[in-house]
Structure 1
């Protein structure tokens, strides 16, 4: 009879542990919903990766890496306090050639983690030098 009681205790303990694991999974925050880069050319992929990294660094609270996404002459001087759940693009990526570089303007909805959203205009820039890379210039 002692064996039956002990195995019943073990079974209840195992079920309790499983229940606690399931409850922890239900209460933990999920990360951002990143944009897909499949089927995009290299420039488009780099721009989408900037948006994805922005969401990631906001989620992590990593201000140092966040600021590396921006051009040195950007009017952005710090990281906002909100976190993004997702970014939904309204316009395709259209690269415009300028005198000294390239520019992309994208209209998007920034979906916040509290189910609110706001529409933003992302401005990306890239120089014409072969080693230039895309950076965020501004987000309005």
Structure 2
């Protein structure tokens, strides 16, 4: 709850906000990989444009956690992200809990994506919220700003 309040306050403090919501036209069920014991990634075929880029980042995070590839994992994050290393858990599957919301600010685009994760060695569902950011400069790419 505290992290959601922080996100809301952060979004309210940024000037010149023009919220834009993108709705999902299809369900966001994960797709199962060929071998057992590997993550079930979100189906990238259901998305396009910025939404697809965000889904790819979520899937890459799952992949790098599975491979314990900290170097690649940290490249997914914004340089000013509070995330400082790779966690020890592995994600079994991820599903979206809400629509992907992208907002335009003065100098950046910001997206919020709430998911439900099932992790290996943990029977309980986790409900993290991703905050993504993309600068408005030419050639800028989406990155993960934080995960609460």
TM-score interval, normalised by the smaller of the two chains: 0.7 to 0.9
How many equivalent pairs are there? Answer: 113
- Cα offset for 1:117? 2.1
Q: Which runs of 4+ in 1 moved over 4 A?
A: none
Instruction: Describe the superposition over 1:55-102 as per-residue Cα deviations: whole angstroms up to 9, x where unpaired.
Output: 000001100100000000101001100000111111111210011110
Q: Per-residue deviation at 1:123?
A: 0.2
Please tell me the root mean square deviation across aligned C-alpha atoms, in Å.
1.3
Which has the larger displacement, 31-40 or 57-66? Answer: 31-40
Paired residue secondary structure (2:134): strand
Stretches of structure 1 lacking an aligned partner (at least 5 in a row): 1-27
The gaps in structure 2 that reach 5 residues or longer are 1-34
Greater share of residues in strand: 2
Per the normalisation by structure 2, the TM-score is 0.72
Q: Cα distance, 1:116 vs. partner? A: 2.8
C-alpha distance in 2 between matches for 1:61 and 1:123: 22
